[in-house]
Amino acid sequence: MKKIGVILLTAALLLSACGKATTTEHSAHSENKEQEHFGHDSGESTDKEGIQAVFKLSTDPIQANQETEMTIQILDKDGKSVDDFDLNHEKKMHLILVSQDLSYYKHIHPTYQGKGLFTIRTALPAGGNYKLFADFKPSGQAQIVKSHVVKAGGEAAPAIALQPDSKLTAAVNGIEISLAADHLMAGMDLNLTYTFKDAATKAPITNLQPYLGAVGHVVILDEKADLYLHVHPVDEKSSGPEAKFKTSFPKSGIYKIWGEFQRDGQVITVPFVVKVP
C-alpha cells in the first residue's frame, strides 16, 4: 500500500474525573480510495515524545476467521524498546479492535512479553478493513494511543450504516441498560449516565461488579474511527443502578459509544450510536 502525507496528532485531554481520557486524531491523504475514509497508517506511528508502536501480524495478508498472532512492539524515539509500563486499569495494554463500519468491536488485553513486546492471538470475523487502537502508558509518561489498520481477505460482511439510535435503551443478559446524555453538543463537557434495571421486573440493579478496577469503561469512536476516547467513570466504586461518565465530544458528528460493565462474572458490552450536534 502506498501512502502519502500521513499526519498523526496525539493530544492527551484531561476529560474524565481520573484524567485518563485520550483523543487521537489522524488526518491522512491516500491514493487508495477504499481506505480514504478510514484513517490508516503504515504500522508505525510516532507521537511527539517519539514513542512508536510497530504492529505486525504473523500471517500477512490475513484471511477472515484465520487465527494469527499479532505483535505490538513499543519503541522509543531512538528505536530502542520501551521496557516499563504502568498498569492502567489493571492492564499494561488495552487493545480495541473495530471493523470499518464499527459493527464489530473487541476489547482485548495483549500479553506483555518484556522488552516492549506485546502479543495476542486473534482472528478477524470477515473480510475487510479493521482498525486497532493500542492504549498504553510507558512508566512515568502520559497515556498513549496508537492505531493501525489491517485488512482481512475473504468475503466481507455487508456494511451496516451507522445510524443514530432513536432510543438509548437496550437489553443485554436480562439487564435493561439506558444511556442518558446531558448537553449533547460538540466541545462541551457532558455526563453520560447509564442506568441498569432488571429487564423483567424493572427493579434497579445494584450489584454490578468492578470490571478492570471500575464500575465500567466507555470507549467512543467517531464514525470514521479517527477520534478515540476512553472514558472512566466519575465514581469508579459505584455498583449501580447508575454509572456516570464525564467526557466531551471534540466535534459534531456521529459517534458510537461502547459501555462495558460486569455482573455475575460476565462482561456486558452495550453499544449506542448518537449524533452530536
Report the residue number, 11 or 87, with the smaller CB distance to Cu ion.
87
Least separation in angstroms between CB 54 and Cu ion:
20
Report the residue number, 94 or 263, with the smaller CB distance to Cu ion.
94
Least separation in angstroms between CB 89 and Cu ion:
6
Report the residue number, 96 or 152, with the smaller CB distance to Cu ion.
96
Applying CB under 5 A, does 232 fall inside the site for Cu ion? no
**77: nearest Cα among 130, 27, 141:** 141
Cα 243 from Cα 72, distance rounded (Å):
32
Which residue's C-beta sits nearest to Cu ion? Answer: 94
Residue 33's φ and ψ, nearest 5 degrees, are -60, -40
Q: Estimate the share of the chain in helix, then strand, then coil, as percent rounded to the nearest 5.
A: 0, 55, 45
Judge contact between 269 and 217, C-beta under 8 A.
Answer: no
The region of 93-101, 137-145, 170-178, 268-276 touching Cu ion under the rule CB under 5 A is: 93-101
Applying CB under 5 A, does 92 fall inside the site for Cu ion? no
Residue 263, C-alpha cell as written in the block: 455482573
Least separation in angstroms between CB 20 and Cu ion:
12
Could you give the C-alpha distances from 133 to 191, 211, 264, in angstroms and in order?
24, 20, 28
183 contacts: CB under 8 Å, gap ≥ 6: 189, 190
Least separation in angstroms between CB 212 and Cu ion:
6
Residues binding Cu ion: number (CB under 5 A)? 1
The region of 91-99, 120-128, 220-228, 234-242 touching Cu ion under the rule CB under 5 A is: 91-99
Least separation in angstroms between CB 213 and Cu ion:
10
Cα 9 from Cα 27, distance rounded (Å):
8
Residue 258, C-alpha cell as written in the block: 461502547
Applying CB under 5 A, does 94 fall inside the site for Cu ion? yes
Report the residue number, 92 or 94, with the smaller CB distance to Cu ion.
94
Residues that bind Cu ion (CB under 5 A): 94
